[in-house]
Amino acid sequence: MASRRRRMAPAEEAADVPPDWKPRARTREQLVEIVERLPTEPGVYVMRDRKGRVVYVGKARRLRQRVRQYFNGHDTRLFVPALGRVLGDIEAVITSNDKEAMLLENNLIKRYHPRFNVKLRDDKQYLVLRLDTRASWPRLEVVRNIGQDGASYYGPYHSATSARHTLRVVNRHFQLRTCTDFVLEHRKRPCLQYQIQRCPAPCVYEVDERAYADQVRDVGLFLAGRHGELVEGLRGRMETAAEALEFERAARIRDQLRAIEVSLQRQQVVGVEELDQDVIGVHREGGNVEFVVMHVRQGKLIGSQRYAESGMELPDEEVLASFLGAYYDESPLIPDEVLLPFELAEDDGEPLAAWLSERRAEQGAKKVQIKVPKRGSRKTLCMLAERNAASNFATRRSKRDDAEAAMKRLQARLSLSRLPRRIECYDVSHIQGSDPVASMVVFVDGQPDKASYRRFKIKGLDRDEGLSQGGRQNDDFLSMYEVLDRRLRRGLEDEDWALPDLLVIDGGKGQLARVVAAMQDLGVGIGDEGVDLVSLAKERRFAVSATTQGLEALRAASEGEASSGELGEGEGAEGETPSVEGEGEGEEKGEGERAREAGRRLADHVVATADHSQDGGEVRPERVFVPGARDPIVLARGSSELHLITRLRDEAHRFAIEHHRKRRGKRSLASVLDGISGVGPATKRALIQHFGTIKAIRAASEAELCAVKGVGPKLAAAIHEQLAAGG
């Protein structure tokens, strides 16, 4: 049996080990000798463990002096013994100045993902609003990256919800277009936004460019937090319109002004100065650290972000410096001030401020100041951030404890060989066999690890001959076998795909049997010898007449109290009620007796485990099937272990359906072009990539179609004619 591999940490997976590296153990004296040979110039130092993996990257104005601090005989900080236990070597890279050291440090951290450096695991949380004032008819849109394109950017927003809420507020109170540039150029009649007076429809009608420019300017003031200037300008325009007897226009501005004032009242005022500030809060207990970044814009708190790190062995000031470097390397917008709860080391504070100021200069703004306030409103903000960090830490610890308890209960209830810290769940999705896909979702310590989610395209079912003749149920079994075969092979061949503690399959005994077969074919052990495995069957609901009476009849038939003819007279006579027939009166105990025994067990089990729903039907609860067990395990309704495993299953189902819809949508898009002579796979892909939708292709002129690679005048005319004929 193949042994189960240990899951490797991200630092272990990504670290580059020198090809000539030999495992080595260093004594403290040997490490001190290495330190004394380090240069005294500015640069970056790289610490490797005894296996050659990078565990920490730091920068210093004077390399030898900085690294020497770690091995000071009087240093009693907790991280020093940890470094002594793991270090195998220390390398140094000299740079020309502090700025180069800062950039090199960030690049090396991205490359190696060191164990003791702070790693922001998800860069998708940075959302900004983009307003390109150079466009003919500017619009506001949500984007993730800031481009060097001359447009104005506002944010960042800590979630898509808050960013899109702000976008909705702007679209509701300022009349800017919401359509794309392509739709703007090709629209023939105004959309719903015009009908509800939220857009002047520059796509169709002649619009006063000056009035539109005023709206664009107001949006910029609103998003920049210059609310006093915005309100003053609107009031002036309202009074001017009233004096000119343009009462309808004055009334619109009045309503707009009221709506904006109401929106502003909801924002929490936390500062007395109109500055953009990021306020950093830190709470630490041992190696676990919680960071909070509060975004204050023009004196108003617009949102916050939180991050949790574990295994942080270095001192507080270095952990904070590592976090700030990682955070602002990804953050699209740099504030006027960064407020910290405590001082950074001199080697970190000044280079960080210089680097941030240079980043901000690219946005046409002034230098960045890094402050550690001692009193006043800034100190109050820092204390607020600290309280938020402590509260988030306590909440996260409580969730972690709850997840730990749920995992232990699940282990005990299902007799798992180990605590299921890493659980993978698989689900297959299709519609009558079309576009079959599968999903793999991963929970680590009871929480989703979305970076580890994977999607699978079912390859064996793409061809007609690959389809089972036994109905869709069997196709699902084959799909599950294929997916687990591919996943397990990777687990055996690639350390990055190390096997989990527990595999959960969405389905019943059939799916479970296929996965068992896949594991046996590959020599992967089950349970103590490899990976724990279960399948989870969904809750089922039945009507009372079709279930209870049918089961009673089944039990009666199996006990010889009713003949098959009597079964045909009941309410289940139309094929809804299962029946069991013997082989004749003279039959000895054989197939007939075994069938009757199976019928009794089935009826007893389903009746015993079924609950009565409120509408008078019956509910067969969630059931967990375990390899080698005859009957499923029913976890207590509302229990933490059931909640954990069903949440995992539902997430796998959601992820699979989401992928299936995307594939189906692409296929539907491509199928419209399939019947056009001259449009091959390459041209089809080019058209879809260029226009995005069939609606856009249909609206395009022949000249615009010719702009697509591989489309000439004759083909453009054929496409235009065919799509126009299709409506």
Q: Which amino acid is at 475?
A: D
* Segment 56-107, tens digit of pLDDT: 898 888 898 888 887 776 555 555 666 667 888 888 999 988 878 888 888 8
What is the overall mean pLDDT for the chain?
78
706 pLDDT tier (thresholds 50, 70, 90) = confident
* The pair of three-digit structure tokens given for residue 626, joined into one six-digit string: 């375990």
- Summarize the confidence of residues 501-522 as an average pLDDT: 88
Q: Is the pLDDT of residue 269 over 70?
A: no
SS3 for 2? strand
Q: Which of the four pLDDT bands, split at 50, 70 and 90, describes residue 618?
A: low
- Which strand (E) or helix (H) includes residue 33? helix 28-36
H or E element at residue 493: helix 472-493
Residue 411 reports pLDDT greater than 70: yes
Higher per-residue pLDDT: 382 or 116: 382
Structure confidence at residue 569 (pLDDT): 37
Q: How far apart are CA 386 and CA 283, in angstroms?
A: 7
Residue 291 has φ and ψ, to the nearest 5°, of -110, 145
* Res. 13 pLDDT band, cuts 50 70 90: very low
Higher pLDDT, 365 or 6: 365
Q: What is the pLDDT of residue 281?
A: 95
pLDDT of residue 77: 54
Residues 508-537, mean pLDDT to the nearest whole number: 88
Query: Is 293:125 a contact under the CB 8 Å cutoff?
Result: no
Rounded mean pLDDT, 206-225: 86
- Name the residue among 428, 420, 445 with its Cα closest to residue 500: 420
Summarize the confidence of residues 599-612 as an average pLDDT.
53
pLDDT score recorded for residue 644 = 93
**Higher local confidence (pLDDT), 171 or 466:** 171
Confidence tier at 597 by pLDDT (50, 70, 90): low
Q: Which residue has the tokens 């375990």?
A: 626
Does the pLDDT at position 598 exceed 50?
Answer: yes
Please give the pLDDT value at position 413: 93
| Mean of pLDDT values over 274-295 | 90
State residue 437's pLDDT score. 82
pLDDT, average across residues 540-565: 53
Look at residue 124 and tell me whether its pLDDT is greater than 80: no
Question: CA-based Rg of the chain, rounded to a whole angstrom?
Answer: 33
pLDDT > 90 in the chain, percent: 15
- For residue 335, whether the previous peptide bond is cis, meaning omega lies within 30 degrees of 0, is no
Mean pLDDT of 591-597: 58
Instruction: Return the pLDDT at 424.
Output: 94
Q: What is the mean pLDDT of residues 396-424?
A: 92
Give me the domains of the chain, ranges plus CATH numbers.
Answer: 10-117 (3.40.1440.10), 125-269 (no CATH), 276-394 (3.30.420), 422-539+638-655 (3.30.420.340), 541-620 (no CATH), 675-725 (1.10.150.20)
Share of the chain above pLDDT 70, in %: 76
